[in-house]
Amino acid sequence: MPRYFLEVAYKGTNYSGFQVQQNANSIQREVEKAFSIIQKEKIGLTGSSRTDAGVHALQNFFHFDFDGTIDSHLVYKMNAILPADIAISKVIPVGSTAHCRFDATSREYKYFIYRRKDPFLKERAFYFPYKLNAGFMQQAADLIKNYDDFTSFSKRKTQVKSFICNIDESKWDWEGDCLVYYVRANRFLRGMVRALVATMLQIGREKMTVDEFKRLIEEKNCTKASFAAPSHGLFLISVNFPEGYFSTR
């Protein structure tokens, strides 16, 4: 059966997360509903990267199987039906074995923090008006790349069998008035980026040392990390696939 990728962007403020959940609205539910209205058939979507309630995405993917004829104006028509905070960018025909989750080579996230009150950033960044030692925070961000077991930064109730993540970039930088944490890895655990950010903010406030952060990672104990960074500051920036992945299918 023919398979397709859907590229999607969304503001997660009004949703319980990316994936369908009982008695809660999600990005997946809205996209499946819009598709069924246009194509007159229901589909089941598989997501590339699950984002938690309130988390945003500039790029994420679904894939689905569909044996009928895809409307030539599907993207336009779905965007006309979808809520204003969800947008479809592309529908891409792919091979029957292509998988938007398992074939992805890396994901990139950014977490935005602002320190001067700004009503226009309220739902897109974390207001944190405290003095921070950015040098210590960068030391911690560099340290993260030396490890691959992030048990300490995973929420307790999780069904994953492995806590191994290969992080190849981790840094703090400024973008306009926002202090931004950028991280790229092959995979992420539930709550992992927010836990890393919240814990590094404790280092920035000099309530934790870089050596204590190192021990926290090595202890593999999620009860000692902070998970206090709210979801609305987090953006999934990109989901990456092997070079030429789409052009060869």
Band (pLDDT 50/70/90 cuts) for residue 129 is: very high
Q: 205 with 197: CB under 8 angstroms?
A: no
Supply the range of the domain harboring residue 204.
Answer: 108-238
| Domain endpoint, select from 103, 125, 158 | 103
Query: Which pLDDT does position 164 carry in this prediction?
Result: 94
Residues 30 and 97 in one domain: yes
- 198 confidence band (pLDDT: 50, 70, 90): very high
pLDDT band (50, 70, 90) for residue 157: low
Residue 16: is its pLDDT beyond 80? yes
CA distance 195 to 152: 9
Q: What are phi and psi of 145, to 5 degrees?
A: -65, -15
As a whole number of angstroms, the distance between CA 18 and CA 188 comes to: 15
Quickly state the pLDDT bin for 199 (edges 50, 70, 90). very high
CA distance 131 to 134: 9
> Based on the domain organization, do 233 and 189 belong to the same domain?
yes
> In whole numbers, what is the pLDDT of the chain averaged over residues?
94
Residue 63 lies inside a defined structural domain of this protein = yes
**Element containing residue 214 per DSSP (H, E):** helix 210-219
> Which residues are within 8 A (CB) of 80 and not within 5 positions of it... i.e. 6 or more apart?
none
Shortest CA distance to 125 belongs to which of 114, 117, 140, 135?
114
Q: Which of 40, 75, 103 is the last residue of a domain?
A: 103
Is pLDDT of 180 > 70? yes
In this predicted structure, what is the pLDDT of residue 221?
A: 87
pLDDT of residue 110 exceeding 60: yes
Assigned domain for 38 exists = yes
Domain boundary among 103, 125, 147: 103
Q: Which of left, alpha, beta for 198 (phi over 0: left; psi -120 to 50: alpha)?
A: alpha
Same domain assignment for residues 115 and 226: yes
The number of distinct structural domains making up the chain is: 2
The pLDDT assigned to 23 comes to: 76
Distance CA 32, CA 197 (A): 33
- Give the position of tokens 């926002």: 178
Least confident window among 50-64, 152-166, 209-223 = 152-166
Between residues 21 and 126, which one has the greater pLDDT?
A: 126
> In terms of Cα–Cα distance, which of 2, 13, 7 is closest to 234?
13
Contact by Cβ (8 Å): 132, 199: no
Band (pLDDT 50/70/90 cuts) for residue 159 is low
Unique residue bearing structure tokens 């895809």: 70
Q: What percent of the chain has pLDDT over 90?
A: 87
Residue 78 lies in a domain: yes
Residue 249 has pLDDT above 60, yes or no: no
Per residue in 39-71, pLDDT (tens digit) is: 999 999 999 998 999 999 999 999 999 999 999
52, 85, 148, 149: the active-site residue = 52
Mean pLDDT (whole number) for 11-27: 88
Instruction: Assess whether pLDDT exceeds 80 at residue 156.
Output: no
pTM: 0.94
pLDDT at 29: 94
Active site residue 52: yes
Residue 42, CA distances (Å) to 4, 34, 68, 171, 239 in order:
14, 10, 11, 42, 26
